[in-house]
Amino acid sequence: MTSDSCLKLDSSFRDPCGFIFNRNAKLLRQINFVYQNNYDFFLKSGLCEKLQSIGYLVKHKEVDIKLAFDKKAYKIIEPEKIPFISYPYGWSFGQLKDAALLTLEMEILALKYGMTLKDATAYNVQFLDNKPIFIDTLSFEIYKEGQPWVAYKQFCQHFLAPLLLMSYKDIRLGQLLKIYLDGIPLDLASKLLPFKTKLNPKILANIHLHAGYQNRFSGVNKKIGAFKLSKISLLALIDNLKSTINGIKLNTKRTEWSDYYEKNNNYLSKALKKKLKLVESYVDEIKPKSVCDLGGNTGKFSRLASKKGILTISLDIDPLAVEYNYQYNKQHKEKNILPLILDLTNPNAGKGWNNTERQSFFERKHFSMCLCLALIHHLTISNNIPFCKTALFLSKVCDWLVIEFVPKSDSQVKKLLLNREDIFIDYTQKYFEAEFGHFFKVVKSSKINGSKRVLYLMKSKRK
Amino acid sequence: MASIFFLILFVSLIVPQQVEAYLDPGTGSQIFQMILASIVVIGFFVKSFFRQIKFFLIKIFKKKKSDL
C-alpha cells in the first residue's frame, strides 16, 4: 500500500495507536486496529462531536481506507489543516496558559463522557485565530474506574513548571522548553523556583512535593502496583490543577520592546501613519498568501496583513511583546495572525529524535512575504551580522521582502552606537542596496516622510 | 470530616490497578497523585457543596423575581 508519495511525519511515531502521514499532498491520520475500541467509543459516546462543536478539537473527516499507509490501519481520517504548526517554546506566557487550561477542560469533558486523556503534551495543542485547539484525535482512551491520570506528570512538566518559572522567576525561562522537549523536569523547576512558592500549598504540592516523590521512587527496583483512584478524586485533582494554573499571573514589567511604539520618538504619528500606509500599499500590490513579520513587536504592522485574510506570523525576540500581541489579538478577536517568540539570530533548529521530530522554524513554511521593519540596524549593529548574510538568509525564506533601511543619522542607530566604537563603516544606504542587490531586485523604494528612513519592496532573485 | 478523609484515602490506596498506556506515568508521580487527589477531594466536596447552594439560591431568587 505504501507508495512514493506517502510519507510518515517525523513528529508522529511515539503512540502505537496511529500516526500522521502525507499522501499526495494530503495530511492524513492512520488509526491502527489497536485503537479501534477507543476510537469507536470516542465517536459513539458523543465526546468527539462535543469537543469539535465547541472548537476544542480539530475537525476531521473519515476517508477511504484504501488511502492507508499500511495494513495496521483501522480507519483513516483527514484532519482540518492547521495553517502553521507552532511549538510551545515559541509561545508566550498567555498562549501556554491557554493551552494548559484547554488540556484540563478536555480532561474534565473526557471524564464526563467516560474517557480520559492518555497524554498531556503541549505539542498536542496548536493555535487557530488566537484560540488553542487540540490536534491529537488519538489522545483519548476509555476511562477505567479507578485509574489515575497517566498524564499528570507530563502535564506538570509541559505546562505547570514553565508557567511558574515564567511567573515567579523570569519570563525568559519558558525557553527551557527548547532544551527539555518533554517538559521541564520537576526537580529542576523546584530548585529554580523561589522559596516563597513553597508557601503556596498548590505549588508546594504539584511541584516541590511531586518532585520529591519522583526522586524518592526513581531508583525503586521492584514493581509497585498502581492504585485505584475514585473518579471524584481524579476530578478534584484536575480542579486543583485548573485553579493552580488560573492563579499564575505574569509579572508585567515592561521589557525592551514591549513599549516600542509608545517610547520610540523617531516616529512622529505622521511618519508612523505614512509607514503603515506604505507597508499596506506593498501588501496590497503583491497580495501575498502568507506573511512573516520579523521583529513584529506587538503586531501593529502584522495586522495590516492579517486583516486582509493573509496568514501572518508575527515574530519577536521579546516574550512580553509577543504576550501583548497575543492578548491584543484575543481581545479584538483578530484572525489569521499568530504571534510567536523567535530569536532571529538563532532561529529554532530541528529538535528531538534525529533532529527531525520538531522541525526548524523556517523549514515549516516558506513565506510569500517577509516584513523586516526597523530591524536591519539591530541585526547589523547590535549583532554584527553583515548585510550580505542578512540578504542571503531573507532570500531563502521569502519571495517578497518589505525592508526598512534605518540610516546612521537616525536616533535609534545613534543610541546603539552611543557607547561603542563605530566599526560599521559599510553601514550606508548605498552599500545596503548593493549587498541586497545580489539576492533581491528592488521593485520600489520610498522615503518615509517625517523620518530619515527608507522603505523598500524587493523581490527575491530565487523566485 | 477527618473520618471521610481517611475513608477516601484508604479506599484510594488499597486496590491495585494496572495502567496500560504508552506514556510512562512515573512511579513517584503516580503515588504522589493518589495522595494529593485524596486530600484535595475534600476541598472539592466543600466547593461543590457551596456551589450547589449558590445555584439553588440563585434559582429561588430568579423564580421569585419572575413571580413578581
pLDDT category of residue B68 using cuts at 50, 70 and 90: low
Q: What angle do CA A11, A16, A351 make, to 5 degrees?
A: 20
Q: Is B36 on the interface with A (CB under 8 A)?
A: yes
Note whether A151 contacts B25, CB cutoff 8 Å: yes
DSSP letter for B16, please.
Answer: B
List all residues 6 or more positions away from A73 whose beta carbon is below 8 Å from its beta carbon: A30, A31, A32, A33, A65
Most confident of A11-15, A70-74, A107-111: A107-111
Note whether A150 contacts B21, CB cutoff 8 Å: yes
Name the minimum distance, in Å, from the CA of B2 to any CA of chain A: 16
Section B13-25 average pLDDT: 55
Q: Is B46 on the interface with A (CB under 8 A)?
A: no
Round to whole Å and give the CA distance between A284 and A273: 16
Which residues in chain B have their CB less than 8 angstroms from residue A141's CB? 21
* C-alpha of A202 from chain center: 27
Q: Look up the pTM and report it.
A: 0.90
pLDDT category of residue B5 using cuts at 50, 70 and 90: very low
Note whether A148 contacts B23, CB cutoff 8 Å: no
- The partner residue sitting opposite B34, judged by closest CB among A148, A215, A240, is A148
Higher-scoring residue by pLDDT: B55, A103: A103
The percent of residues in chain A predicted with pLDDT above 70, rounded, is 94
Q: What angle do CA A27, A29, A32 make, to 5 degrees?
A: 155
Which residues in chain B have their CB less than 8 angstroms from residue A119's CB? 22-23
Round to whole Å and give the CA distance between B57 and A302: 49
Q: Provide the pLDDT for residue A268.
A: 60
Which residues in chain B have their CB less than 8 angstroms from residue A224's CB? 27, 31
C-alpha cell at A237: 485533582
Interface list for chain A against chain B, based on CB atoms closer than 8 Å: 14-17, 118-119, 141, 144, 146-154, 156, 205-206, 209-210, 213-218, 220, 224-230, 232-237, 239-240
Which residues in chain B have their CB less than 8 angstroms from residue A38's CB? none
Name the minimum distance, in Å, from the CA of A42 to any CA of chain B: 17
Note whether A226 contacts B16, CB cutoff 8 Å: yes
Round to whole Å and give the CA distance between A23 and A71: 15
- 3-state DSSP call for residue B5? helix
Q: Provide the pLDDT for residue B11.
A: 44
Note whether A14 contacts B22, CB cutoff 8 Å: yes
The percent of residues in chain A predicted with pLDDT above 90, rounded, is 83
Note whether B12 contacts A228, CB cutoff 8 Å: yes
pLDDT in tens, A44-90: 999 999 999 999 999 999 999 999 999 999 999 999 999 999 999 99
Round to whole Å and give the CA distance between A424 and A353: 41
Note whether B44 contacts A236, CB cutoff 8 Å: yes
CB A231 within 8 A of CB A145: yes
Round to whole Å and give the CA distance between A159 and A181: 12
pLDDT category of residue A2 using cuts at 50, 70 and 90: very low
Q: Provide the pLDDT for residue B12.
A: 43
Section A136-141 average pLDDT: 96
Which residues in chain B have their CB less than 8 angstroms from residue A157's CB? none
Pairing of strands A290-294, A367-372: parallel
Instruction: Specify the DSSP element, H or E, that contains B53.
Output: helix B27-67
Which residues in chain A have their CB less than 8 angstroms from residue B38's CB? 229, 233
Chain A nearest-CA residue for B20: A150
Note whether B21 contacts A228, CB cutoff 8 Å: no
Note whether A118 contacts B23, CB cutoff 8 Å: yes
CB A312 within 8 A of CB A306: yes
List all residues 6 or more positions away from A314 whose beta carbon is below 8 Å from its beta carbon: A293, A296, A299, A302, A322, A325, A337, A338, A339, A340
Name the minimum distance, in Å, from the CA of A221 to any CA of chain B: 11
Name the minimum distance, in Å, from the CA of B10 to any CA of chain A: 10
Name the minimum distance, in Å, from the CA of A367 to any CA of chain B: 36
Round to whole Å and give the CA distance between A185 and A162: 10
Round to whole Å and give the CA distance between A62 and A122: 25
pLDDT category of residue B10 using cuts at 50, 70 and 90: very low
C-alpha cell at A406: 534605518
pLDDT in tens, A179-226: 999 999 999 999 999 999 999 999 999 999 999 999 988 877 666 665
Note whether B44 contacts A235, CB cutoff 8 Å: yes
CB B25 within 8 A of CB A152: yes
Q: Provide the pLDDT for residue A254.
A: 55
Most confident of A91-105, A356-370, A410-424, B34-48: A91-105
Chain B nearest-CA residue for A153: B29
B50-57 — which CB contacts under 8 Å span 24+ positions?
none
Q: Flag the least confident range among A272-281, A436-445, B6-15.
A: B6-15
CB A159 within 8 A of CB A92: no
* C-alpha of B64 from chain center: 32
Q: Provide the pLDDT for residue A118.
A: 95
Section B1-10 average pLDDT: 45
Does the pLDDT at position B3 exceed 70?
no
Name the minimum distance, in Å, from the CA of A91 to any CA of chain B: 24
Interface probe for A, chosen from B30, B34, B49, B50 (most Cβ of A below 10 Å), is B30
Structure-derived torsion over alpha carbons of residues A290, A292, A297, A302, reported in degrees to the nearest 10: -20
Least Cα distance to A291 among A395, A347, A365 occurs for A365
Section A92-107 average pLDDT: 98
Does the pLDDT at position A334 exceed 60?
yes
**CB–CB contacts below 8 A, A to B:** 128
Note whether A209 contacts B28, CB cutoff 8 Å: no
Q: Which amino acid is at A211?
A: A
Section B12-37 average pLDDT: 71
Does the pLDDT at position A248 exceed 70?
yes
Which residues in chain B have their CB less than 8 angstroms from residue A154's CB? 23
Note whether A226 contacts B30, CB cutoff 8 Å: yes
Which residues in chain B have their CB less than 8 angstroms from residue A111's CB? none
Note whether B12 contacts A227, CB cutoff 8 Å: yes
**Strand partners of residue A330:** none
Q: Is the ipTM of this complex over 0.85?
A: no
pLDDT in tens, A300-330: 999 999 999 999 999 999 999 999 999 999 9
Interface probe for A, chosen from B27, B38, B46, B51 (most Cβ of A below 10 Å), is B27
Section A434-462 average pLDDT: 94
Section A2-11 average pLDDT: 71
pLDDT category of residue B22 using cuts at 50, 70 and 90: confident
Give the 3-state DSSP-derived string for chain A, with helices as H, strands as E and coil as C. CCCCCEEECCCCCCCCCEEEEEECCEEEEEEEHHHHHHHHHHHHCCHHHHHHHCCCECCEEEECHHHCCCCCEEEEEEECCCCCCCCHHHCCHHHHHHHHHHHHHHHHHHHHCCEEECCCCHHHEEEECCEEEECCCCCEEECCCECCCCCHHHHHHHHHHHHHHHHHCCHHHHHHHHCCCCCCCHHHHHHHCCHHHHHCHHHHHHHHHHHHHHHHHCCCCCCCCCECECHHHHHHHHHHHHHHHHHCCCCCCCCCCCCHHHHCCCCCHHHHHHHHHHHHHHHHHHCCCEEEEECCCCCCCHHHHHCCCCEEEEEECCHHHHHHHHHHHHHCCCCCEEEEECCCCCCCCCECHHHCCECCHHHCCCEEEEEECCCHHHHHHHCCCCHHHHHHHHHHHEEEEEEEECCCCCHHHHHHHCCCCCCCCCCCHHHHHHHHHCCEEEEEEEECCCCCCEEEEEEECCC
